[in-house]
Amino acid sequence: MFYKVFKTTLLSLFAAAVLIPSSIVILGTFKDDLEIYTKPLALPKHWSLRNFQTLIETGNVFTPFKNSVIVAIFSVSLTLLFASMAAYMIARSTTVTGKFLFLLFALGLAIPGQVNIIPIYHLFVQLHLTNSLLGLILVNIALTLPIAIFILTAFFKDLSREMFEAAAIDGAGHWRIYRSLALPLCRPALAATGIFLFVICWNDLLFPLMLISELDKKTLPLTLIDFRGEYATSYSMLFTAVMVASIPMVIMYLTMQRTFVAGLTAGAVKG
Amino acid sequence: MAFPAFALYSFLYLYPSLSNVYYSFHRWDGVTKPEFVGLHNFAYLATNDDLFMKVLGNNFRFSFIVVIFQTLLALLFATFLLKNTKTTIALRIVFFFPTILSSVSVGLIWTFLYDPNFGFINALFKAVGLDGLALNWLGDGKYSLYAIALTQIWFHTGQMVVIYVAGLQQIPQELYEAAEVDGASRWQQFKSITWPMALPTTAVVVAYTTIQTFRAFDLVYSMTQGGPLNSSDVLVTLIYNTAFSSYKWGYASAQSIILVFVVLLLTYLQRRTLRINTGEK
């Protein structure tokens, strides 16, 4: 009896802790500030789209949105490509090179990428890669390669060796086996890893904050930080901006819920 | 085939890591030529820098609170949500939801919730007559770090629940049935079956959370920027400010080397402790 009450109470409390703030934000996008302060959880008096309109007219949300999409898509697809190639080579290697490479990438898992902000900034200034989306993409790839290689190598190692050997006997080269056999077989792992990487790239603040200062190169998290200063306590505008920044993730989460959870937990477990 | 990954990784990860070590032995403002100062930066950090010690302490406290509460909460929720029913699956989806939001979004949402005048939390306290608890959560140095820790726990508990559920579902059901037959209480079952069997998962969750809390930047930056008076500063926000506000680049590099050591040391200690507990060698 006590257990049941304890369990129900705790679960309800945490569910409420998630659902109430989410509702406040979603409902708040249709309200003005006063209504948010006085009745945060009530349905809006008028379902007005004025906040969205203001956001589009004044704050430049399209450009950061577009930048975030470009950075995330290129970072994720290139990381997946390079990581799967390296993982395939490491998993199939019988020589010491494969082991060495794996250890080298494992080093990247031990050192958090955030500690390298100073040398990376300095290097990027010299290479004229600040204020450049290409720069952000390169940083993202370099920082997420170790974890992606780690997850994918584990997956490739689970595939049967005989199958690859049979393909090799039939005369298929490494490239051919990688493209026509290994990649299609690891599609679920690629999808899960891809989502994990997408969340990282879409949400990153530190590197854009450091590398980007021009308005037309800013990504969404950076724009949200700017909004915080600009609309200091205009929560209706902040909520609307948060909503716009989160919509792609929410849609992906709701439609690909399984892959999402698999990706974000694999990332944690393997990392 | 590993060449593109190897090249990019060497150039943008390994090489910067090595330069970081090099810079840490220099006095450098990022513009002029770095001047070699030996171990001076480290000596200064260890003996003269009260701010660094304060922030190091902050980060340890932040990490400790988040690791303990988030892990226990996630384990508890996972035992509640272990069976696959409609309700438990729905609840897991709800609990996991914050994980998909960006740290900046979470930071902004919680800035509102904590707002001393208009925020939801204080409104709630006032509504139930606890006006004394309606505090300035982020604006008062006594609470700011803990307020951010709570946000972090809200943010990632659901992710850990899912990891625990996967781990706990591996435990053979017969163990519980046998314990049930022997009349073991729920608490005894938890203590003698769930906890020891879940130790490998706990090791993973604790290690991941520790690293996550020492990498923390986005949430702190978007909620308090480390303030008021550095009360909520953590290592990465400090390093960022040392480099980009004070332009002490060599010094910031030295700070980040300490961060690497802290993370490696903690990871090593945790592995050792948890290995002893699981009886592995």
Q: What is the mean pLDDT of chain A?
A: 88
**DSSP, residue by residue, B105-166:** HHHHHHHHHH-TTT-HHHHHHHHTT-GGG---TTTSTTTHHHHHHHHHHHHHHHHHHHHHHH
pLDDT surpasses 80 at B280:
no
Sketch the domain layout of chain A as residue ranges. 66-217
B263 to chain A: which residues are within 8 Å by CB? 110-112
**Among candidates A15, A116, A117 on the partner chain, residue whose Cβ is nearest the Cβ of B91:** A15
CA distance A192 to chain B (A): 14
Which tens digit of pLDDT belongs to each residue from A81-137?
A: 999 999 999 988 888 888 899 999 988 887 878 888 999 999 999 999 999 999 999
A90/B2 Cβ within 8 A: yes
A196 touches chain B (CB under 8 A): no
* Residue B108 identity: L
Residue spans per domain, chain B: 40-278
Residue B204 to residue A249, Cβ atoms within 8 A: no
Q: How close B269 comes to chain A (CA, Å)?
A: 14
How far does Cα A35 stand from its chain's mean position? Answer: 33
The predicted-structure confidence for B12-33, as pLDDT tens digits, reads as follows 999 999 999 999 999 888 788 8
Tokens for B11, please give them: 């150039």
Q: Which of A121, A241, A246 sits opposite B101 (nearest CB)?
A: A246
Tell which residue, A100, A183, A106, A116, has the closest CA to residue A149. A106
The pLDDT-based confidence of A15 (bands split at 50, 70, 90) is: very high
Q: Position of tokens 């369990």? A: A7
| The pair of three-digit structure tokens given for residue A125, joined into one six-digit string | 């200034």
Closest residue in chain A to residue B99, using alpha carbons only: A264
Which of A206, A239, A260 has its CB closest to that of B217? A206
Assign domain B40-278 to its CATH architecture.
Orthogonal Bundle (1.10)
The answer to whether A110 contacts chain B (CB < 8 Å) is: yes
Q: Decide if A142 and B12 are in contact by the 8 Å CB cutoff.
A: yes
Do A85 and B2 make contact, defined as CB atoms within 8 angstroms? yes
CB B129 within 8 A of CB B122: no
The CATH number corresponding to A66-217 among 1.10.3720.10, 3.40.50.2020, 1.10.8.80, 1.25.40.20 equals 1.10.3720.10
Q: What is the per-residue pLDDT across A191-242, written as a single tens digit (0 to 9) for each? A: 889 988 998 899 899 999 999 999 899 999 998 888 887 777 688 888 998 9
Does the bond joining B34 to the residue before it have cis omega, within 30 degrees of 0? no
A–B interface: beta-carbon pairs under 8 A:
242
Interface test with chain B among A24, A116, A249, A264, by most B beta carbons within 10 Å: A116
Cβ-based contacts of A268 with chain B (< 8 Å): 159-160, 163, 204-205, 208
Of B28, B224, B89, B262, the closest CA to residue A118 belongs to: B28
Predicted local confidence at residue A155, as pLDDT: 86
**DSSP per-residue letters across B209-267:** HHHHHHS--HHHHHHTTT-STTTT--HHHHHHHHHHTS--HHHHHHHHHHHHHHHHHHH
Structure tokens at B198: 């879940």
The reply to whether residue B236 touches residue A206, judged by beta carbons under 8 angstroms, is: yes
- Nearest CA of chain B to the CA of A101: how many Å? 8
Residue A136 contacts B where some CB pair is shorter than 8 Å: no
Mapping DSSP onto H, E and C, the string for A100-124 reads: HHHHHHHHHHHCCHHHHHHHHHHHH
Tens digits of residue pLDDT in B166-219 = 889 889 989 999 998 998 888 899 999 999 999 888 988 998 899 889 999 999
Nearest CA in chain A to B5: A82
Q: Cα A82 to chain center, whole Å?
A: 17
Q: Could you tell me the pLDDT band of residue A268, with boundaries at 50, 70 and 90?
A: low
Confidence band (pLDDT; 50, 70, 90) for A37?
confident
Residue-level pLDDT at B133: 85
* Chain B: residue whose CA lies nearest to A250: B100
Q: Give me the mean pLDDT over the B75-88 stretch.
A: 92
Per the CB < 8 Å rule, is A83 touching B267?
no
| Contact (CB<8Å) B240/A120 | no
Over the stretch B110-165, which tens digit does the pLDDT of each residue have?
999 999 888 899 988 988 888 888 889 999 999 999 999 999 999 999 999 999 99
Note the pLDDT tens digit of each residue in A129-164.
999 999 999 999 999 999 999 889 888 888 878 888
Nearest to A24 among B19, B94, B120 (CB): B120
Q: For residue A140, give how far its alpha carbon lies from the nearest alpha carbon of chain B (Å).
A: 10
Cβ–Cβ gap B98/A271 under 8 Å: no
Separation between Cα atoms, residue B29 and residue A27, nearest integer Å: 48
pLDDT at residue A271 above 50?
no
pLDDT at B281 over 50: no
How high is the pLDDT of residue A269?
64
Name every chain A residue with its beta carbon within 8 A of the beta carbon of B110: 21
- Calculate helix-pair angle for B120-127, B103-114, nearest 10 degrees: 30
With 0-12 CB in 10 A as exposed, 13-18 as middle and 19+ as buried, what is A251?
exposed
pLDDT at A51: 84
Instruction: Name the average pLDDT for chain B.
Output: 90
The partner residue sitting opposite A260, judged by closest CB among B76, B100, B264, is B100
The model's pLDDT over B91-114, given as tens digits with 9 standing for 90+, comes to 999 999 999 898 999 999 999 999
User: Hey, are the CB atoms on A221 and B102 less than 8 Å from each other?
Assistant: yes
CA distance A116 to B16: 6
